[in-house]
Each structure stands twice: as C-alpha cells, then as structure tokens.
Amino acid sequence: MEQAIFPGTFDPVTLGHLDIIGRARTVFDRIVVAVAEQREKRVLFSVEDRVTMIREASAELPSVEVRSFEGMLVEFARSQKIRTIIRGLRVISDFEYEFQMALMNRRLDDGIDTVFMMPSERFIYLNSTVVKEIARVGGPLEGFVPPGVARRLRDRFAPGRKGVPA
C-alpha cells in the first residue's frame, strides 16, 4: 500500500489544502493529514478544532485520515510507518523553504522522501494567513474555505468576541 503524510498547521484548512489532498489520493492509497500542534507558533484554532475541521471537510474522501502530532515530523512518519511526505508548492519562495525542509528530513532519516505538489491554478495564491485576514475584516470566504470553516472563522471574528488574536 502506497501511503503518504501531508503535514501542516492548517490554521485553518483551505480549499487549496483540500485540492492537494484530493489529488494526492490519485497517487497514494492512503493519506494521513498530520496536523502540527505548533506550540511555538500563534494559531487561531486549537489543534483539536483544526483536526475536526479537516475531518469534516474531507469526510467524503476515502482513505484520508486526520491526526495531530507533536514534535518532529520524521518521528511521526516513523510511528505511522510512512516513508513519503507530501508538501504543497505555490511560489518560488515556498520551494526554497520546502527544499531545505526536505533535505533536513532526509538527513534525519534517509528513508524519508518528499513529494512536491502544486495546487490547481485557482488556488495558487491561497494561504491560511490571507484567509484569516479576509475573515478578520468581514470579507467573503466562499471559494477559499469549506462552509464549516467559514462559519467557524465568522464566529471567531464576530464583533465583540473576546480573545480574538490581533
């Protein structure tokens, strides 16, 4: 069985992420979406919320599992007995960062390979940071995130809500 891990923060999951997941399913028999805990990075949603949103958004996709992880990705990959990591590339700057990460992962475990996938053209500009900014100013989220994610973003940025990150 060919399997791969698609890791990320997914804060929140976007239609671009789901595009990569869906297309990766045509190459791999099983995809594990690995949601990083990210204690050092300020996130809008808890890891539990992010896992739930991805599970809801990918419910119709067979052979997709969603799990959270903490620590090093190569350790998580070993624990899952998976040797392939999927990473999305949108722009040249993504490649530079992802190439460094792929080389570091290979240095940590030379049995780990990274497969780079480009999103469909309509998602090339899309990232979670842009989506959060659109939500923060009350802009339209349709075409950027699944409906359940849009609802959670609107709730999170509702006027008068306390604890909303700046």
What whole-number percentage of the chain has pLDDT above 90?
82
8 Å CB contact between 126 and 16: yes
Residue 160 lies in a domain: no
Q: What is the CATH number of the domain that holds 25?
A: 3.40.50.620
8 Å CB contact between 154 and 144: no
Q: What is the mean pLDDT of residues 121-150?
A: 95
**Count: domains in the chain:** 1
Distances (CA, A) of 41 to 14, 37, 64: 18, 9, 26
Domain extent, residue 91, equals 3-124
Overall residue count recorded for the chain in this entry: 166
The catalytic site residues sit at: 17, 41, 90, 128
Say yes or no to pLDDT of 103 above 70.
yes
Residue 98 lies in a domain: yes
H/E segment holding residue 161: none
Q: What is the pLDDT of residue 97?
A: 87
| Each residue's pLDDT tens digit, 59-93 | 999 999 999 999 999 999 999 999 999 999 987 77
State pTM to two decimals: 0.90
